Amino acid sequence: MSDFVYIPPTTPLSVIYADDQIVVADKPSGLLSVPGRGEDRSDCLINRLRQVYPDILLVHRLDLDTSGVMIFGRTKPAQAFLGQQFEQRLTKKIYLARVWGEVLEDSGRVDLPLIVDWPNRPRQHVNFETGKPSVTDWRVLKRGGGETRMKLTPLTGRSHQLRVHMLEIGHVILGDPLYASGAAVDFPRLMLHADSLKIRHPESGVAMNFAAPCPF
């Protein structure tokens, strides 16, 4: 990744919802969630949002190449409340993906422990000795043309979890610069989108579901 050049998209800021406790935004593919190392990687979603909401606080992240729903806190208690929901797996996250090949089964579960592949970081890999539990439920939405559209529901929140799990079942996510190879790489972006996120509001405790339209 040393030859990676960061060219953030000029997509206008898309705020799905905001109140005095939380901000929910639609992150475009190609934009960092938080600043990277170096001045050339300072443009990111949280910094763009900070220009409108100076009190914004990070709760979770999406990969650079993944688009979709991200939630932020606006107070320390709200940030902590949301963070606990992620840690305790009380949120419900649904992703949409286009994967290589036509998946035969209609649904399934991938239960493979993951950990960083140190010599090849930021890549992750399956490791049954030191990997952390990682579980993904999947369902086929559409097949055709040598690819499959999938609904992915991660039950854990490991780094690159969906990307590695799809690779491991033989259906890598299209356009994945880290895990795909051959013709599966030749797409304009990573075909992975955080479609919806269900949380409980930090102040009211009411369940809220936020969604972002899928761009592919």
Read off the pLDDT of residues 64-93 as tens digits, 9 standing for 90 and up. 999 999 999 999 999 999 999 999 999 999
- Judged by DSSP in three states, 184 sits in helix
The answer to whether position 174 is within a domain reads yes
CATH number at residue 119: 3.30.2350.10
The answer to whether position 112 is within a domain reads yes
Residue 124: domain span: 95-192
CA end-to-end span of the chain: 25
In this structure, the answer to whether residues 167 and 100 fall within a common structural domain is yes
34, 57 contact by CB (below 8 A): no
In this structure, the answer to whether residues 108 and 174 fall within a common structural domain is yes
In this structure, the answer to whether residues 141 and 83 fall within a common structural domain is no
To the nearest whole percent, how much of the chain has pLDDT over 90?
A: 95
In this structure, the answer to whether residues 73 and 122 fall within a common structural domain is no
In this structure, the answer to whether residues 20 and 49 fall within a common structural domain is yes
Report, as an integer, the average pLDDT of 134-162: 97
Q: Which of 185, 106, 109 is nearest to 149 (CA)?
A: 106
In this structure, the answer to whether residues 72 and 137 fall within a common structural domain is no
The answer to whether position 166 is within a domain reads yes
Q: Is the pLDDT of residue 2 over 90?
A: no
In this structure, the answer to whether residues 101 and 139 fall within a common structural domain is yes
pLDDT band at 147 (very low <50, low <70, confident <90, very high): very high
The answer to whether position 4 is within a domain reads no
The answer to whether position 214 is within a domain reads no
List beta partners, residue 98.
149
Report, as an integer, the average pLDDT of 44-62: 98
In this structure, which long-range contacts are made by residues 180-187, counting pairs with CB atoms below 8 Å and at least 24 apart in sequence?
A: 180/100, 184/100
Structure confidence at residue 1 (pLDDT)? 46
Structure confidence at residue 4 (pLDDT)? 81
Total-model pTM = 0.96
In this structure, the answer to whether residues 71 and 115 fall within a common structural domain is no
Q: Is the pLDDT of residue 139 over 60?
A: yes
Structure confidence at residue 62 (pLDDT)? 97
Give the catalytic positions in this structure: 63
Structure confidence at residue 186 (pLDDT)? 96
Mean pLDDT of the chain: 96
